[in-house]
């Protein structure tokens, strides 16, 4: 068999595989982005990345809580920004429903140090396609630490 005879089928197979990968990743984020919350919150973008995969069977309420009186204020929705008075341990408890402290400690020692004082969302961003912290080198993570910690000389 000549090289030309098997290159065409191989090329077609690879092309179809690559095209199907795009369709699969779009399907993975289908359910959570059709959640009833997204009717109003589309301006904040779609839930992407690992937490947006349908295989996790998550919805907006998995982390933010049930709608209740929302959009009226006050409401009981969990907001992970630093400009509210929700205690850090309450915010982190949401993340710890799925992420065990032991596994977090094995991944990065700073999780133990900050667990009671700093909210997970202070460093991690879950709605974008990728959490910016996951792609940082050790030196870049150290530079991120300096945003909160200053060295006094």
pLDDT digits (tens, 9 = 90+) for 64-117: 988 888 887 778 888 888 888 899 999 999 999 999 988 988 888 888 888 778
**Three-state SS for 20?**
helix
This prediction has a pTM of 0.68
Q: Which two tokens stand for residue 60?
A: 């907006």
Residues 6+ apart with CB under 8 A from 90: 78
User: ω into residue 71 within 30 of 0, thus cis?
Assistant: yes
Nearest to 99 by CA among 78, 126, 81: 126
Q: How many CA atoms lie within 13 A of 98 on its CB side?
A: 10
Return contacts of 29-35, CB within 8 angstroms, 24+ apart.
29/53, 29/54, 30/54, 31/59, 32/58, 32/59, 32/60, 35/59, 35/60, 35/61
Q: Which residue has the higher pLDDT, 32 or 64?
A: 64
Average pLDDT over residues 18-29: 43
State the average pLDDT for the chain: 76
pLDDT digits (tens, 9 = 90+) for 136-150: 888 888 888 888 887
Q: Which two tokens stand for residue 151?
A: 């060295």
């Amino acid at each position: 068999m000549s090289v030309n005879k098997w290159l065409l089928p191989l090329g077609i197979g690879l092309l179809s595989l690559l095209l199907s990968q795009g369709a699969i990743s779009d399907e993975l984020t289908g359910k959570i982005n059709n959640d009833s919350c997204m009717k109003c919150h589309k301006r904040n973008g779609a839930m992407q990345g690992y937490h947006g995969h349908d295989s996790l069977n998550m919805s907006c309420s998995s982390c933010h809580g049930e709608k209740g009186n929302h959009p009226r204020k006050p409401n009981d929705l969990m907001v992970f920004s630093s400009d509210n008075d929700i205690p850090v341990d309450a915010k982190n408890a949401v993340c710890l429903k799925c992420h065990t402290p032991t596994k977090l400690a094995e991944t990065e020692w700073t999780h133990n140090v900050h667990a009671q004082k700093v909210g997970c969302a202070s460093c991690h961003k879950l709605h974008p396609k990728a959490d910016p912290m996951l792609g940082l080198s050790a030196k870049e993570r150290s530079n991120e630490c300096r945003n909160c910690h200053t060295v006094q000389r």
